[in-house]
Amino acid sequence: MKQGSEWKEDDWKAYYDLLREIQETDFVLVELNLYLDTHPEDQAAIAQFNQTVQKSMALKHRFQTMFGPLYGFGNSFSPAPFAWKEAPWPWQV
Protein backbone atom coordinates (compact mmCIF):
# COMPACT_ATOMS: atom_id res chain seq x y z
CA MET A 1 0.00 0.00 0.00
CA LYS A 2 1.43 3.36 -1.07
CA GLN A 3 1.15 6.48 1.05
CA GLY A 4 -1.21 9.11 -0.41
CA SER A 5 1.67 11.47 -1.14
CA GLU A 6 3.33 8.79 -3.30
CA TRP A 7 0.32 8.21 -5.55
CA LYS A 8 0.44 8.79 -9.29
CA GLU A 9 -2.47 9.77 -11.51
CA ASP A 10 -3.35 6.11 -12.19
CA ASP A 11 -3.45 5.42 -8.44
CA TRP A 12 -5.93 8.24 -7.91
CA LYS A 13 -8.08 7.00 -10.80
CA ALA A 14 -8.13 3.46 -9.35
CA TYR A 15 -8.99 4.88 -5.90
CA TYR A 16 -11.95 6.88 -7.16
CA ASP A 17 -13.17 4.16 -9.54
CA LEU A 18 -13.17 1.49 -6.85
CA LEU A 19 -14.75 3.79 -4.27
CA ARG A 20 -17.51 4.65 -6.75
CA GLU A 21 -18.14 0.96 -7.44
CA ILE A 22 -18.45 0.33 -3.69
CA GLN A 23 -20.92 3.21 -3.36
CA GLU A 24 -22.99 1.96 -6.30
CA THR A 25 -23.06 -1.58 -4.95
CA ASP A 26 -24.05 -0.42 -1.47
CA PHE A 27 -26.83 1.72 -2.99
CA VAL A 28 -28.22 -1.44 -4.62
CA LEU A 29 -28.08 -3.13 -1.20
CA VAL A 30 -30.08 -0.32 0.41
CA GLU A 31 -32.73 -0.52 -2.31
CA LEU A 32 -32.95 -4.32 -2.11
CA ASN A 33 -33.18 -4.13 1.67
CA LEU A 34 -36.09 -1.69 1.43
CA TYR A 35 -37.81 -3.90 -1.15
CA LEU A 36 -37.33 -7.01 0.97
CA ASP A 37 -38.86 -5.22 3.97
CA THR A 38 -42.17 -5.30 2.09
CA HIS A 39 -41.59 -8.47 0.02
CA PRO A 40 -39.82 -10.87 2.42
CA GLU A 41 -40.80 -13.99 0.46
CA ASP A 42 -39.32 -12.89 -2.90
CA GLN A 43 -36.69 -15.59 -3.44
CA ALA A 44 -35.17 -13.90 -6.51
CA ALA A 45 -34.68 -10.64 -4.60
CA ILE A 46 -33.14 -12.53 -1.67
CA ALA A 47 -30.71 -14.24 -4.04
CA GLN A 48 -29.83 -10.91 -5.65
CA PHE A 49 -29.37 -9.35 -2.21
CA ASN A 50 -27.01 -12.14 -1.10
CA GLN A 51 -24.98 -11.94 -4.34
CA THR A 52 -24.70 -8.18 -3.95
CA VAL A 53 -23.56 -8.56 -0.33
CA GLN A 54 -20.77 -10.86 -1.51
CA LYS A 55 -19.78 -8.38 -4.21
CA SER A 56 -19.77 -5.50 -1.71
CA MET A 57 -17.59 -7.44 0.72
CA ALA A 58 -15.13 -8.39 -2.03
CA LEU A 59 -14.90 -4.79 -3.29
CA LYS A 60 -14.30 -3.47 0.23
CA HIS A 61 -11.62 -6.07 0.87
CA ARG A 62 -9.91 -5.12 -2.40
CA PHE A 63 -10.13 -1.41 -1.56
CA GLN A 64 -8.60 -1.92 1.89
CA THR A 65 -5.83 -4.10 0.48
CA MET A 66 -4.95 -1.47 -2.11
CA PHE A 67 -5.60 1.79 -0.26
CA GLY A 68 -5.88 1.16 3.48
CA PRO A 69 -8.68 1.16 6.04
CA LEU A 70 -12.20 1.94 4.91
CA TYR A 71 -13.83 1.89 8.36
CA GLY A 72 -12.72 3.19 11.73
CA PHE A 73 -13.05 2.09 15.34
CA GLY A 74 -11.80 -1.45 14.89
CA ASN A 75 -13.92 -2.36 11.88
CA SER A 76 -10.89 -2.45 9.55
CA PHE A 77 -7.38 -3.76 10.02
CA SER A 78 -4.47 -1.36 9.65
CA PRO A 79 -1.02 -1.99 8.30
CA ALA A 80 1.97 -0.70 10.24
CA PRO A 81 2.51 2.18 10.59
CA PHE A 82 -1.06 3.02 11.55
CA ALA A 83 -2.78 3.97 8.29
CA TRP A 84 -5.51 6.31 9.52
CA LYS A 85 -3.12 9.24 9.45
CA GLU A 86 -3.00 9.01 5.65
CA ALA A 87 -5.51 10.99 3.62
CA PRO A 88 -7.69 11.02 1.69
CA TRP A 89 -10.18 9.25 3.89
CA PRO A 90 -13.13 7.71 2.04
CA TRP A 91 -15.56 10.29 3.42
CA GLN A 92 -13.36 13.15 2.19
CA VAL A 93 -13.82 12.39 -1.48
What does the alpha-carbon distance between residue 40 and residue 17 come to, in Å, rounded to a whole number?
33
Residue of 72, 62, 66 lying closest to 92 (CA atoms): 72
Q: The pTM is what?
A: 0.78
Cis-peptide, bond into residue 81, ω within 30° of zero: yes
Which tens digits make up the pLDDT trace of 16-34?
A: 999 999 999 999 999 999 9
Percent of the chain predicted with pLDDT > 90: 56
- Residues 68/79, Cβ–Cβ less than 8 Å: yes
In the chain, where are the structural domains located?
A: 4-92
If you write DSSP's letter for every residue of 10-74 in order, what string do you get? HHHHHHHHHHHHHHHHHHHHHHHHHHHHH-TT-HHHHHHHHHHHHHHHHHHHHHHHHH--SS-TT
